[in-house]
Amino acid sequence: MNLSPSFPILSNYTYLNTAYAGILSTELASWRTKHDQQLIEGGSEFRLNNSLIIETLRSNLSDFFKTAVSNVFLTQNFSFGFNTLLDGLPKTERFLLLNDEYPSVAYPITSRGFSHSYVDIDENLEDNVLAAIEKNQPTVFAFSIVQYISGYRMNPEFIKKLKKTYPKLLLIADGTQFCGTTDFSFEDSGLDALCASGYKWLLAGFGNGFILLSDQLKNHLYEDRKLAQLPSAPFVKGKKPLAFCFEPGHLDTLNFGSLNESLNMIRNIGISTIEQTTQALCQQARIQLHHRGLLPDYLADQKYASTIMILPLAQQQVNHLAEAKILCSPRGTGTRISFHFYNTEEDLQKLLAVLDGKKIQQAS
């Protein structure tokens, strides 16, 4: 499948950098241009007639991630949604965190003064988590489903096991490096919250995201506000209490409409097709990279693996990747690569050739 017409960057680069930022399609760019032209021509009339975009997206997210529409909230990005969630929790919560977690997960918790403890990410992660729960008795476990540096993916069966074993423990997940890679049911996941931005694997550009909440967590948030009288102005009539927290003010139809358009594209391709094709390519990559000593055993052998890998490359190898127009990112002490549905086996072979020191002939 030739995707270069939809993603022109693929004609000029080998794009292994979706974990940094997803690429925009020409179809989405055309939709955004049309949206803004209609706004220029219609002003307030355009806004009145296009507010349906917001509710269409909410319904689309509900269907895509398999949860109730009432549990879907739209946010400008992961960080806004996550910080808003934290502000709605009692200050007595005790958090369990992973070491080397994404700063936008860890810092908002520690800076608010929540009691917290850490566990190491290694081949014994699940045992580490269980031991830490028994020892520290946290009330919340906050984590990224896919770690942004190593690419380690939390086992979905383990998440369900945690919720079954500790039903009162709130499980709050960052899904920014996960959503858009795998067929996923929020209601069956065991999670109490899934927060994500849309600019990576959902290919929706910046300024859009969402948060999905379980009924258990919804009933636990902002308890101090539940007795406050809601605004009575006609234009906010029917707006739910939590929506005033997670969706304050006007929501932008350009950015959220972009997420809706990208969801439609992904659904047209098929999320199961995306998962199968990317996992097949990533499995090849893991085998080859592990054979070269660039991936540890526990990341190469994961039952549920992500589409992200971190490679301990020498600076000369990093320079060769740049010369070969292979786009990737420095992260931690290594170089991060990532594969999405627009990547091919040819991309992988080019990467391996450069890592093996072979000279790549660039097209003129």
* Residue 97 dihedral angles phi and psi, to the nearest 5°: -130, 160
* Cα–Cα dist 230/219, whole Å: 17
* Mean pLDDT for all residues in the chain: 93
The answer, yes or no, to whether residue 225 has pLDDT greater than 80, is: no
Q: What is the mean pLDDT of residues 43-64?
A: 89
What per-residue confidence (pLDDT) applies to 240? 83
Residue range(s) occupied by CATH 3.90.1150.10 in the chain: 8-16+271-355
Kindly indicate the confidence band of residue 45, based on its pLDDT and cuts at 50, 70 and 90.
confident
Q: How many CB atoms lie within 10 A of CB 271?
A: 19
Q: Which pLDDT tens digit goes with each residue over 232-265?
A: 776 766 678 898 899 998 899 999 999 999 999 9
Euclidean distance between CA atoms 94 and 352, whole angstroms: 45
**H or E segment at 179?**
none
Instruction: Determine the Cα–Cα distance for residues 89 and 95; give it in Å rounded to an integer.
Output: 11
Question: Given a cut of 90, is residue 337 above it in pLDDT?
Answer: yes
What CATH class has 27-268?
Answer: alpha beta
The model's pLDDT over 199-221, given as tens digits with 9 standing for 90+, comes to: 999 999 999 999 999 999 999 99
pLDDT-based confidence at residue 362 (cuts at 50, 70, 90): low
Q: What is the pLDDT of residue 364?
A: 43
Residues 60 and 225 sit within 8 Å (Cβ to Cβ): no
284 closest CA partner among 232, 229, 331, 345 = 345
Domain 8-16+271-355 fold is Aspartate Aminotransferase, domain 1 (3.90.1150)
Is residue 170 very low, low, confident or very high in pLDDT (cuts 50, 70, 90)?
A: very high
The pLDDT of residue 47: 80
Report pTM: 0.93
CA distances from 172 to 76, 193, 289, 312, 330 (A): 18, 5, 32, 30, 27
**Unique residue bearing structure tokens 């050739």:** 353
Q: Among candidates 273, 274, 143, which has minimal Cα distance to 203?
A: 274
Residue 96 neighbours by CB under 8 Å, 6+ apart: 116, 117, 118, 119, 129, 132, 133, 136, 138, 140, 141, 142
Residues in the chain: 364
For residues 37 and 30, what is the distance between their CA atoms, to the nearest angstrom? 11
CB 121 within 8 Å of CB 146:
no
Alpha helices in 14-74 (DSSP H): 26-42, 44-50, 52-65
pLDDT digits (tens, 9 = 90+) for 278-328: 999 999 999 999 999 999 998 988 889 999 999 999 999 999 999 999 999
Assign 227 a pLDDT band (cuts: 50, 70, 90).
Answer: low
Q: Cβ neighbours of residue 252 under 8 Å, at least 6 residues apart?
A: 207, 208
